[in-house]
Structure 1
């Protein structure tokens, strides 16, 4: 619905008219309208006649727990409790978990007892595991029943428990027995036993599995939802594809931040203090590595004094090496995070990266060599620059492969400031190769 028409509906129509149309409006559109309405009184007026279940959907569309908390406090306590009661348990868990201790306790105290029990259970799981991102609100059916029993049960399911296109089948002790498509239930005769139409080759996710691995499993099989089980194959909940999309966005943001040497949770809304604390540690590390590179240069100060033009070219060698290393690093970090780098293909990928470094080093080296020769009016100056560029490009790709692999072996996120380490290698070796070769060829450069 067009925004002006939506705004007119909420402000100028009766509650009954709003109720008739509101189910056809996506909560994301309602949230967008509210965010664009700067006047708080008008925002409250827009929300007056929106049903509590739709308001709950709007809250769930918000990404930040603090924003959700502030939004909920626009409502009186009684209505706020009704809205919270309409929210799913996994969303409530995320909300309580993201808030500070005082605010989290406040929200938790306003939940219904059964919701409190579910939230407490979900909070016991690591938030970055399958158990931490699953929802416990799902419809399951029993293996012992017939199709007629199952259809009768599905007709009695409450509105807030959404019936999916695929349903999971459990026994009396909640052990996962299989999965069945809703269409297969509808197409079968009433007296058909559920065990006769289920697929017992169901792929499930252990509740301890890391969320990144869960995302890879979803990508591998292309499912829209998957069951979560414990070590005894008891069904605990389900994970839906929209939860995985959030995980993928979160993991990508985290990798980008870590590769840049920042805290994984920093974003544009972080405070000055948070951003400072996030960035300063790795900047100090970067400073230390820069001092190390400067020490390498200082060891060749005598050579630079004799051939001053070296100082104009050496930054090109190190800069290009840094760029090449970043390219290799980006490919490896992404491949490791997606599980694309395995024991079977690791050597092939390593040799490919070395080969790419050699080929790009030859091409860039020739270009830099010709330019350096013209710049210094000395063909040997060009040879030194070309050889140094070739060696540094190979070293850059070597480091771009090795750094994230070593971090992975140490059970450290391979994105963790890998760029800082790779840049250190390319700077130090770049200066060493260029100035070392210049020292060897010094009589020919004078």
Structure 2
């Protein structure tokens, strides 16, 4: 039995099921669910609930809803999970669900299937849908072509406003978005953009070419464009979708704002998890074996690097044995170095991700981080040294700690920038386990500086 409570206010309406109520029907295989109440429940809420069930329970639940509802639910779920559900459905029902999905959502699901299942399923859908999906499947899923939808509302430049408004009444069921309307010439080249608002407030006799924005080429992208670059375009120009064109400027489709939100969320969670050595696509619902497979390589790397830190301490074991305070305060130095490096690392990775700077700006960024580390180090070091003198009544111990903090924070700040820049320079993902590498470096630097200074000043 799944014990879940969903507090979203929408889920608390009396004509909808909450996640907790859905969980209570697991033992009866959902036979007692009220169809009307279930139909009123948000597909997003149901998707969250289903992602916590076993595959067979997911299949049984989706038998209780219409194909239209099932398609909406699967579109809200993780594509890999949705593909697993499709693979255990009857092929005819799975094909009908695919036909009801938006093409970009359908491709996300189909691309996760085994090749044999993909071929078999595509043979079941209508020929028109199959042609569209096969075209989209040619594109890399991490590019604009891989996330775009071909269902776009278009107008002809030589139409008048009255004709355009009449045409729009016929396309809402086909196009994902009719707010932005792309304008084509007689050879289907993208020449402009207008909006539904512009049409409504324009004279019926005005030509579309007179009211369109011709600067659309500034935001149009090729299908091979990286999807993260598409997200950057949308953020920079504050638009709700981005057109995708071929090299001859023929409109192929557009990337919509909901897909970009998914891209941004995926990139943010992937970077965060990779920084700490977890799998980029790891989920809390992954099996234990799958999580171990993704985490163990980086933990083994961390263990090897940790031995380097331990070897630094072992070199000064005699000094630590003679002055026990050194063992106490060396952890402070290492901790501050780690935090300083992590701050610089977070800023650097964000800057690289959103295009605030490139690897060619490395010297300028390093110089700024050096000054930040120096000023922070002086402030923190003087304060930490004063407390040390007060606690130990040993001026040299305080001076040792102060100088070690200053040096460590300067070097750690630089390392926080250099590590991601180095990875980027050699075409590695800057977010990939940067944190593990950085913390080991800052530990080694901090421990060595403090213990070496202590050896000179205290013995």
How far 1:397 moved relative to its partner? 0.5
TM-score, with structure 1 as normaliser = 0.86
State which drifts further: 319-328 or 358-367: 358-367
**What are the equivalent positions in structure 2 for 1:28-39 lying under 5 Å apart?**
28-29=44-45, 31=47
SS of match in other structure, 2:155: strand
Alpha carbons 1:321, 1:396 under 8 Å: kept: yes
Distance in 1 separating the partners of 2:347 and 2:177: 40
Say which of 440, 447, 456 aligns to 1:424. Answer: 440
Task: Tell me, yes or no, if the aligned pair for 1:258 and 1:264 is still in contact at 8 Å.
Answer: yes
Aligned to 1:354: 370
1:235–1:437 CA distance, 2 compared to 1 (3 A): same
Residue 167 of structure 1: SS of its match in structure 2? strand
Confirm whether residue 398 of structure 1 aligns to residue 408 of structure 2. Answer: no
340-349 or 59-68: bigger deviation: 340-349
Aligned to 1:136: 150
One of 412, 431, 434 as aligned partner of 1:415? 431
CA distance 1:189–1:379, change in 2 (3 Å): closer
2:76 corresponds to: 61
**Per-residue displacement from partner, 1:310-333 (whole Å, max 9, x unpaired)?**
222212211221111111111111
Matched residue, 2:27: none
Q: How far apart, in 2, do the equivalents of 1:232 and 1:124 lie?
A: 19
Q: CA RMSD in A?
A: 3.2
Q: Whole-Å Cα distance in 2 between the matches of residues 413 and 432 of structure 1?
A: 29
CA distance in 1, matches of 2:381, 2:458: 19
The 1:36–1:442 alpha-carbon spacing in structure 2 relative to 1, beyond 3 Å, is closer
Distance, in Å, in 1 between the alignment partners of 2:51 and 2:418 is 46
Q: How does 1:31-180 map to 2 (within 5 A)?
A: 31=47, 43=61, 46-47=64-65, 50=66, 52-67=67-82, 69-70=84-85, 77-157=91-171, 159-180=173-194
140-149 or 173-182, larger mean C-alpha shift: 140-149
Q: Distance in 1 between matches of 2:59 and 2:290?
A: 32
Counterpart contact for 1:62–1:68, Cα < 8 Å:
no
Pairing 1:169-318 to 2, within 5 Å after superposition: 169-202=183-216, 203-318=219-334
Cα distance in 1 between the residues matched to 2:253 and 2:194 = 16
- Work out whether residues 96 and 105 of structure 1, in 8 Å CA contact, stay in contact via their aligned partners in 2: no
How many residues are matched?
434
Give the whole-Å Cα distance in 1 for the aligned partners of 2:298 and 2:34: 58
When normalised by structure 2's length, the TM-score is 0.84
SS, match of residue 149 in structure 2:
coil
Give how far 1:71 is off.
6.5
Match of 1:5 in 2: 15
Asked if the contact 1:303–1:442 (Cα under 8 Å) also holds between the matched residues in 2, the reply is: no
1:335 CA displacement:
1.6
Q: CA deviation at 1:132?
A: 1.1
Shift of 1:27: 3.4
Distance 1:36 1:404 in 2: 36
Unaligned runs of 5+ in 1: none
- Cα 1:221–1:310 shift into 2, 3 Å: same
Paired residue for 2:349, among 333, 336, 344? Answer: 333
Q: CA 1:186 to 1:12, structure 2 compared with 1: closer, same or farther past 3 Å?
A: farther
Task: Give the Cα–Cα distance (whole angstroms) in 2 for the partners of residues 80 and 207 of structure 1.
Answer: 28
Cα gap change, 1:363 to 1:381, in 2 (>3 Å): same
345, 364, 368: which one pairs with 2:380? 364
Would the aligned equivalents of 1:170 and 1:178 in 2 still touch at CA under 8 Å? yes
- Matched residues in 1 for 2:60 and 2:371: separation? 63
Q: Give SS of 1:310's match.
A: helix
TM-aligned CA deviation for residue 214 of structure 1: 1.2
Task: Using the TM superposition, give the Cα deviation of residue 68 of structure 1 relative to its aligned residue in structure 2, in angstroms.
Answer: 5.2
Q: Distance in 1 between matches of 2:52 and 2:14?
A: 12
* Residues in 1 aligned to 2:368 and 2:128: alpha-carbon distance in whole angstroms: 56
Change in 2 beyond 3 A, CA 1:14/1:147: farther
Distance of 2:269 and 2:411 partners within structure 1: 28
CA distance in 1, matches of 2:138, 2:276: 32
CA distance in 1, matches of 2:352, 2:192: 32
Q: What secondary structure sits across from 2:140 in the alignment? A: coil
| Paired residues of 1:59 and 1:71 also in contact (CA < 8 A) | no
